[in-house]
Amino acid sequence: MPPKLTSNAQDSKKPLFAKYGLNHVVALIEAKKASLVVIGHDVDPIELVVFLPALCRKMGVPYVIVKGKARLGTVVHKKTAAVLAIQEVRSEDQRELATLVSAAKANLYVFLLGYASGQGADFFGSSDKYEEQRRQWGGGIRGNKSTAMLRKRAKAAGQNPAAAHLTKL
């Protein structure tokens, strides 16, 4: 006899799990469905996850780097997990997820996994501080060779050689 289909709303709800596996997490990031991405720091070979922070920044998904892929494995009931993503949480846990995401964006050091047992894992976030440093890169101070080249071009163009360093030629 086939099982009965129930129309109960609680049975038809999608279960909330931490998603793991590199291909699955990359697909969630690309679809912008991940709320938070957690990356293990000791993944070997590192080339498996080295592109994830750049992808997360590009797609606007907050990420954290956690000490130990074995700790990520305990979250998903496996031996190890290189990367996992939190997609949805219960409504009563939305506030905690929001604080984790804001801490990741502010680049604070916070205990994420195992903080109840005293084995907290420092994590490093993305976004705000990274963007500030990235936009301020370089001082605009030219070396002797490029300054001489710009003066030479300005002289050939008939401009004031002293103002040549202010404009691009």
Q: Do residues 150 and 169 make contact, with C-beta atoms less than 8 angstroms apart?
A: yes
Phi-psi sector, 86: left (phi>0), alpha (psi -120 to 50), beta: beta
User: Model confidence over 5-41: pLDDT tens digits?
Assistant: 444 445 557 778 889 999 999 999 999 999 999 999 8
User: Model confidence over 103-141: pLDDT tens digits?
Assistant: 887 764 433 344 434 444 444 444 455 566 666 666 778
